[in-house]
Amino acid sequence: MIIKSFEIINKTGMHMRAAAELVNSVKGCSCVITAFDGRRLNGNSLIDIMSGGIKCGDIITLEIEGENEKSAMEQAQRLIETGFGEKCC
């Protein structure tokens, strides 16, 4: 299991496209997202991530476990740290 925390830097937070990209990046692994308020969200569920209300400036923690956990975390980290290709807050 790999655990890392990140600040959400894209202006619109975890909206549908950003959440879908995150779900795709961890495909094949188990992923739990701990939101800024301590809620644990299923990182493999678009609906769960979007319902988390994660916005710009929030800190989230990803817990990824599985056969490809290292590459999944690297891909998720690239997406988050580049603001999902969007304007940053």
Catalytic residue numbers read 15
Give the Cα separation of 63 and 58 in Å (integer): 16
Q: Are 15 and 22 in contact (CB under 8 A)?
A: no
